[in-house]
C-alpha cells in the first residue's frame, strides 16, 4: 500500500508500506494491505511504517489518519 504523511507545509514520508501502526484516540491501530476505508483522530505518539522488514518511526503530536477507497493511507499531522 502507499502511505503519505504530511504536515500543512511539507510531505514527511511518501512511499510503500506493508503495515502502518498509529496512536489513535481510542487506542492504537494497525493498517495492513486491503484495509477497509477508515478514518480516525490521532493522539501524541509514534507512527510506525513497516516495509520489507525495515521500520521507520515518526513522532507526532496529533493528527488524522485516513484509509482511502484505493488503499492509500494518508496521515495529516
pTM (two decimals): 0.94
Tell me the average pLDDT across 49-75. 97
CATH label of the domain that carries residue 22: 2.60.15.10
**What's the structural domain count of the chain?**
1
Q: What is the pLDDT of residue 42?
A: 98
Q: What is the pLDDT of residue 54?
A: 98
Per the structure, the complete domain to which residue 34 belongs is given by 2-76
**Residue 75 confidence class, pLDDT cut points 50, 70, 90:** very high
**Virtual CA dihedral for 39, 17, 72, 31, nearest 10 degrees?**
-30
Q: What is the pLDDT of residue 43?
A: 98
Q: What is the pLDDT of residue 46?
A: 98
Of the candidates 70, 75, 74, the one whose C-alpha atom is nearest the C-alpha of residue 35 is 70
19-59 pLDDT, tens per residue?
Answer: 999 999 999 999 999 999 999 999 999 999 999 999 999 99
Amino acid at each position: 500500500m502507499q502511505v503519505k504523511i504530511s504536515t500543512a507545509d511539507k510531505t514527511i514520508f511518501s512511499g510503500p508500506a506493508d503495515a502502518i501502526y498509529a496512536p489513535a484516540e481510542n487506542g492504537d491501530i494497525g493498517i495492513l494491505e486491503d484495509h477497509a476505508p477508515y478514518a480516525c483522530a490521532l493522539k501524541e505518539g509514534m507512527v510506525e511504517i513497516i516495509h520489507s522488514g525495515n521500520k521507520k518511526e515518526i513522532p507526532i503530536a496529533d493528527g488524522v489518519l485516513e484509509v482511502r477507497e484505493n488503499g492509500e493511507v494518508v496521515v495529516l499531522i
